[in-house]
Amino acid sequence: MVSSDIWMGSGATVSMIPEKELHLGAFASIAGASDNKRVITLNATFTGNFSLVANLYRGCYLNIYAVSGNVFTDRVLIQGNAATTLTVNDSLEAAITTTATNYYGVIEQYGAPVPAPKVTASTNVYTKQIISVEFKSNTKTDYNDVGIVFGTVDAESASPTQEDVGIFFTSDGSFANAASLLAQTEYDITVDISNAQLTTAEEYIDAAINQINLTSSIDFSAVRDGDKLVITNTFGGAITRTAGTDDGGADSLIDSLDTADASKIELTVTTTGATTATGNPRLLSDTWIG
């Protein structure tokens, strides 16, 4: 379905999303007044098929009708909304608030983009793992034998092949202490930062990215964001390997990393590698520009 309506959303994105009257059906309930507002909970039939994008309908008008006879009863401004509720001014007719199920709502079409139906629970979204590693020291010996260990998957599926990756730094040209970890990961990327021309955390990260780019068949990419190495998996999916750093000690095991000094290097997973049923609120559109 192509609409002639053009809706300008946040971030200056232009989309062709139809704006139509949204018939919500009979209300499930209306909460007591609080801060001169009331929260209307939508019925299970509507919310079972649609989720409203949070606060997208703020500023729209809600027309309220009696179920019996479809009699227009009230009109109120929407102050905000969640996926399954509307927040309106506390100015509703008393009969509406006391017998909510006897009334239904229709959001006026102006400024009311049509929500898309929910995706069925059997459809999965495969979230890519994103790791941020902050390099806090400019002293290269602080990274000698330090390792970054994490997992990847080879496809977006319910049961992909998982592989472990190790990125290991050396400031003296050897990996004596990290040798045990090197033997435990499928992909070993060694980064030699012993060159005297490398003197800052940013340069150590750039050296790591260069080495990553020279490694074939890996399922992740890397960029530098200031003093952070940002690693993004190519594919989304559940990952059993817990990402972490290792201090390069001789007793290192991949399943029990001796965490590196967080005052020098610190790893955080900003997005987990998860497989989840999608239920995110969506809008009905077949064309996006921008």
pLDDT digits (tens, 9 = 90+) for 73-128: 999 999 999 989 999 999 999 999 999 999 999 999 887 777 777 766 556 778 89
Domains and CATH numbers, the chain: 7-118+282-289 (2.40.30), 128-273 (no CATH)
Q: Confidence band (pLDDT; 50, 70, 90) for 286? A: low
Asked whether residue 206 carries a pLDDT value surpassing 90, the answer given is yes
Q: Give the span between the Cα atoms of 176 and 197, in whole angstroms.
A: 23
pLDDT digits (tens, 9 = 90+) for 222-278: 999 999 999 999 999 889 999 999 998 877 788 989 999 999 999 999 888 777 766
pTM: 0.59
Residues in the chain, total: 290
Dihedrals φ, ψ of 240, to 5°? -85, -25
Of 127, 222, 210, the C-alpha closest to 165 is 222
Asked whether residue 170 carries a pLDDT value surpassing 50, the answer given is yes
CB 197 within 8 A of CB 221: no
Residue with tokens 């497989």: 275
